[in-house]
Structure 1
Amino acid sequence: MSAQAMIRQATGLNVSRAEADRAVRQRMGRIGEVNRDHYLATLSPHELAELVELLVVPESWMFRDPEAFKAAVSYVQARLAYDPRPARILSLPCAGGEEPYSMAMALFDAGVAPASFAIDAIDLSSACVARARAGVYGRNAFRSNDLTFRDRYFTMAGDDRYRINDPVRAQVRIAQGNLLAMDTSLYAGYYDVIFCRNLLIYFDKPTTADAIARLSAMLDDDGVLLAGYAEVPSFTRQGFTPLPHRYAFALKKDRAPAPRYASLQQPGEPAPPRVQAERRTAPRPAVPPHPAAAPAPRPHRAAATTRRPAPALQPPPGATPAPDGGIGNARALADRGQLTQAAAACQAILAAAPHSPAAAEAYFILGMLREQAHDVKEAEQFWRRCIYLQPDHYEALCHLALLAEQQGDMDGAATLKARARRIYQRSNAARIES
């Protein structure tokens, strides 16, 4: 069996042959092995885990994509107003703990009592789990303009490093494991909020469907799932519906019976009045088994440095178009659900400046609009024009990779995903150097 096949079988990660071979060469060099066939034939579980670590790029930071945390806090507040039992939250994969700790801090800032929520954090990478448990972070974990949260929830640990305070740490239970190996029947309907962002684009189509089914099984019928930008289409094709939290990429189950909380409250609105919670058809376990498995590996927490709104996610009423009349206006029109006007704005940009950076973005938005209209073939043509003008357009590459998988072109999908991964890694390296 090839290294690529072994990694996919063990973890679900759909890496390219070149990436798998590079990791094998690195490991062989570290342990002094010179015979590749012998190395693969005698690959132990421990050595396979070490191999996977080389493919995992656990990139994250505190309050990454802040609108997702605002939407989750809003939901938790609404849920607690209807049902006082503690909210249960899952971060999967959790990288080095930045995401679950950010959620805990956001809830504390919103005045939610420690007894009113608990967070499970799971990751395949042993190095990620160790870092999350240590709770010590350098400057790259703090990238937002407002770092006042660091003064409230961290203490200096020397050399420009900060340690998360114990009250925040106490809210997060950390474990190592694999989503694809979890017995989800033990967690049926257990979680109110699940963060699973920027993971699925590294799976093939069957693995993506399996992962989403597992997440759906663990999410309460009234729960909210926070996904990555490019993953929303995959979730909507597998039984989820976007919620109108702008830039949060929040979803609920579309087969769930009349959710009581998921669509009640927009960020910034007051919580609804408390009422008696309805009895569930099946009681949830008071405490789940300690997670012995977590998400399939995170090649990285891929996300664009600039978030672009997906037309499928409608903003709250009252949003206004950007005043520049250009690509910003086209985005705003798509955000508001004015799809015909958004398409016309994009076509006007293409007519005026067909080879400009704005034209690449116009093609991307047109692709999103055509996808929403279920015209996949034309959506693909627009996204290919986008990357012709802007080869490093991350979101267009992600969407083309998803389409390639749907069409059974696994090699093409792997190539596109590898390109997207390299773009993200380069942009992240540039940020670190600066």
Structure 2
Amino acid sequence: MTAQALLRRATGLSVSKAMAERAVRQRMERTGQDDSAAYLAGITPEEMTQLVELVVVPESWLFRDPQAFYATVELVRERWSRGRTTRIASIPCAGGEEPYSMAMALRDADLPRAAVSIDAYDLSPACIERAQAGVYGRNAFRVQDVAFRERYFTHVADDSYRIVDALRTQITFRQGNLLRFDTDALGKHYDVIFCRNLLIYFDKPTTRAAIAKLSALLADDGMLLAGYAEVPAFCQHGFAPLQYRQAFALKKDDKPPAIRPAPLPQPVRNKPQLRSVPSLPAAAPTPARPGPPSTPAPIAAAADLLAEARVLADRGLLREAGDNCHAHLAREPEAAEAYYLLGLINELAGKMDLADNYWRRCIYLRPDHYEALCHLALLAERNGNHTAAATLKSRAARIYQRRQASAGH
């Protein structure tokens, strides 16, 4: 079994071949091994934990996308007014930034500790250890207003601050893999679940399995907070949006799937709906593999190329998937979905500059392409360009709100 396949089986994460192999090389150097096949064949649970640590992405900060916390405060206040405690889960919690932000927001709202319980889970033991310590550096305080730092943190050294014990002890941190949660024991246990920016690292089958787990964990009248790039996937698998502005909140959908409106644009389907778009300007780059046939292929045949490209990408055959996309573009040069899929393929290959380029071509052709905007925003965040990320998220949020309004009519 390849390193990539082994990590996917262990965690569900769709990491690139290059990232998986780099992690294996690092662990082999650390453990003094020189045969990768023998290393992978003899890997122990403890060693797998160390390997996973090298590929997980524990990137977060305090009060990231704050509207989600304010929406939760509103729900907690309403339930506490009826004498009901709200049970909250953060999955994954990275270094604890999300659950601590929730605890601070609740304290700022003068809600008593008895009004909530907060559990936080992460696949990474190192993340759990860091969260329990509650010490954060400059990167955790990225929002413009950091007045909360004066209220809830003490300065420990240089740019490091430690959260006060009153909040640190309010949260129960546990190491855990969402895909292996015991939903019999925890069925419908949580009233609010934060699961933001996890599904973007999963393939389609793992995404379905993760959403099924979350649905089983969430109370029937509960609220789930997703990452803005993940809302379409949730809406495809039994959830519907709630009317909280820019919170990307969802509930379980009690309508039959056959009559449920689709509130957001869907990801690439088996047969995407191609639309007419303005021609690219003369200075715009052309597809890397031209050579169109003398007679354009039928639309259905072109759409099948994208469907096959998606399947190939899910199997890790990135070069073949890219070939299909380029063949599609040779027939349909202004197909935004092909550029979107090429962005995903290059992201999986670790070629982030190319991914960025393809997604930008996609939104040039289709300015309302929700998923491409979300991926560009995430990429801007990872690159530290928070102004660009905020602009892209704002555009995505406006599209999200319009789709919600359309679905309501």
Q: If the length of structure 2 is used for normalisation, what is the TM-score?
A: 0.68
The number of residues matched between the two structures is: 308
Task: Specify the alignment match of 2:272 in structure 1.
Answer: 377
Note if contact 1:205-1:406 (Cα within 8 Å) is conserved in structure 2.
no
Q: What is residue 10 of structure 2 aligned with on the other side?
A: 10
CA distance in 1, matches of 2:312, 2:233: 15
Letter of the aligned partner of 1:208 in structure 2? Answer: T
SS at match of 1:247: coil
Q: Report the Cα offset of residue 38 of structure 1.
A: 1.7
Give the 3-state SS of the residue equivalent to 1:251 in structure 2.
strand
Deviations 1:30-60, CA, capped at 9 Å, x for gaps: 2221111221121111111111111012100
Q: Does 1:418 align with 2:372?
A: no
In the alignment, structure 1 segments of 5+ residues that lack a partner are: 258-310, 314-367, 392-401
Q: 1:66 matched to which residue of 2?
A: 66
Residue 34 in structure 1 maps to residue 37 in structure 2 = no
Q: What do you get for the CA RMSD once the two structures are aligned?
A: 3.2
Which residue pairs with 2:185 in the alignment?
186
1:252 match: secondary structure:
strand
Supply the distance in 1 between the matched residues of 2:250 and 2:188 (Cα, whole angstroms). 15
> Which amino acid is the alignment partner of residue 92 of structure 2?
P
1:239-278 deviation digits (Å, cap 9, x = unpaired): 0001121211100001289xxxxxxxxxxxxxxxxxxxxx
**CA distance, structure 1, for counterparts of residue 166 and residue 182 of structure 2:** 30
> What whole-Å deviation, never above 9, does each CA across 1:346-374 have from its counterpart, x for those lacking one?
xxxxxxxxxxxxxxxxxxxxxx4xx49x9
Question: Is the 1:201–1:417 contact (alpha carbons within 8 Å) kept by the matching residues of 2?
Answer: no
The alpha-carbon distance between structure 1 residues 170 and 405, as it changes in their structure 2 partners (threshold 3 A), is: farther
| 1:332-354 deviation per Cα after TM superposition (whole angstroms, max 9, x unaligned) | xxxxxxxxxxxxxxxxxxxxxxx
Q: Residues 421, 67 of structure 1: CA spacing in aligned structure 2 closer, same or farther, 3 A cutoff?
A: farther
Instruction: Map 1:256-271 onto structure 2 (within 5 A).
Output: none
Match of 1:326 in 2: none
- Equivalence map 1:37-52=2 (5 Å): 37-52=37-52
Counterpart Cα distance in 1 of 2:79 and 2:308: 39
Aligned residue in 1 for 2:382 = 428
Higher relative contact order (CA 8 A, sep 6+): 1
Tell me the distance in 1 between the aligned counterparts of 2:252 and 2:276. 30
How much does 1:409 deviate? 4.0
- Paired-residue identity, %: 54
Q: Which amino acid aligns with 2:382?
A: N
Match of 2:327 in 1: none
The 8 Å contact of residues 19 and 350 in structure 2, kept in 1 or not, is answered as: no
Contact 1:221/1:256 (8 A) holds in 2: no
> Taking structure 1 as reference, are residues 162 and 38 closer, same or farther at Cα in structure 2, changes over 3 Å only?
same
- Structure 2 unmatched runs, 5+: 257-261, 288-305, 319-340, 357-377, 387-409
In the alignment, which residue of structure 1 is the partner of 2:338? none
1:14 alignment partner, SS class: coil
Matched ranges for 1:20-419 at <5 A = 20-81=20-81, 83-255=82-254, 312=263, 368=265, 371=266, 377-378=272-273, 409-410=313-314, 411=316, 412=318, 415-418=345-348
Q: TM-score, normalised by structure 1?
A: 0.65
CA deviation after TM superposition for structure 1 residue 170, in Å: 2.0
**8 Å Cα contact 2:103/2:167 also seen in 1:** yes
The aligned amino acid for 2:118 is: I
